[in-house]
Amino acid sequence: MNMSVDTLLVAESEEGMRLDRFVVQRLPSISRTRIQALIAAEIVTINGKPAKAGWTLVAGDVVSVPVDAAPPAPSMPVAEQIPLTIVYEDQFLLVIDKPAGMVVHPAPGHRDGTLVNALLGYTDDLGAAATERPGIVHRLDRDTSGLLLIAKDDAHAAAPGMSRTMVALGQMMRDRTILKEYTALVEGSLDPPAGLIDAPIGRDPRHRQRMAILAQGGRPSQTRYRTTEVIRGRSLLVVQLITGRTHQIRVHCAAVHHPVVGDSVYGRPQPPMPPRQFLHASHLAFNHPITGVPMDIVSPLPPDLQTFLDAWRAGKN
């Protein structure tokens, strides 16, 4: 049986709309819930490529919606025995020091080998355990290393499928009461050496795997930075995320013309280069969501970045 596909051409007046809102507007006979399910199943395409709900559209894009398709049930991640570096653990939460190269949660092309697979192999006590992202309250890019906070405590459910810790940490993230600091090496010297970058971030309408500064349609985004050392034309920074947008530090640093060293997506790599982007989640500070005890956790630079920095500081690379 042939599948019915609605093909929608994006008009100039619709440029900049989110995909999900565009489809809901153009296909009012289909419920919003069904449209969201079709998009989540990655069977709605833009110009022939699977698309995500939040992607913004450009005039001339062709959106294809298989209106009578049955979205497949989402596959739950499976437990895998993958070593983890655990820097703190109690009955309510974990703090993991994630290595560079590890994806946080399963996604197309990364269905296994992720942090979520490793967590499921380590413990059965994860917040929101019956979901694709058990325990995950924030994330790091694949090539960014460092500290990640994970919710446990399913025995004290505060909402269907969620744990008390998961709910509390989520609210703390929204209230911005968790300090998240990164160590970054960027190109050039910042003027002023400390300050705030305040620029809205959204999906790049012309390169949808990237993010960009968007005056229209971007989400408010703030990054605070402080220079700790200038070394041979590159600056070592302590960077604090106030908001938590995708690729935020990398996009903001590039926007002020000081891209993260080694960032091949938002920068223009200049040799010598580190083995990956020089960005590490080095510090978490917060009051424990259940006990209220102040927590202060630090992760030193991993060997690959420390070795590169030492060689750069010594003029050996």
Q: Which 3 state secondary structure label does DSSP give 13? A: helix
User: Alpha-carbon distance 176 to 172, whole Å?
Assistant: 6
User: Alpha-carbon distance 12 to 61, whole Å?
Assistant: 10
Is residue 138 within 8 A of residue 182, CB to CB? The reply is no
- Which CB contacts under 8 angstroms, 24+ apart, belong to 14-17? 14/57, 14/59, 15/57, 15/58, 15/59, 15/205, 16/56, 16/57, 16/205, 16/216, 16/217, 17/56, 17/57
The Cβ of residue 232 has, within 10 Å, a number of other Cβ atoms equal to: 9
User: Alpha-carbon distance 71 to 310, whole Å?
Assistant: 51
Q: Rounded to the nearest 5°, which phi and psi values hold at 26?
A: -85, -20
Closest CA to 78 of 24, 129, 35, 33: 129
Catalytic residue among 141, 143, 153, 263: 141
Is residue 256 within 8 A of residue 275, CB to CB? The reply is no
Active site residue 141: yes
The Cβ of residue 153 has, within 10 Å, a number of other Cβ atoms equal to: 24
Is residue 147 within 8 A of residue 282, CB to CB? The reply is yes
Closest CA to 23 of 5, 11, 35: 35
Catalytic residue list: 141
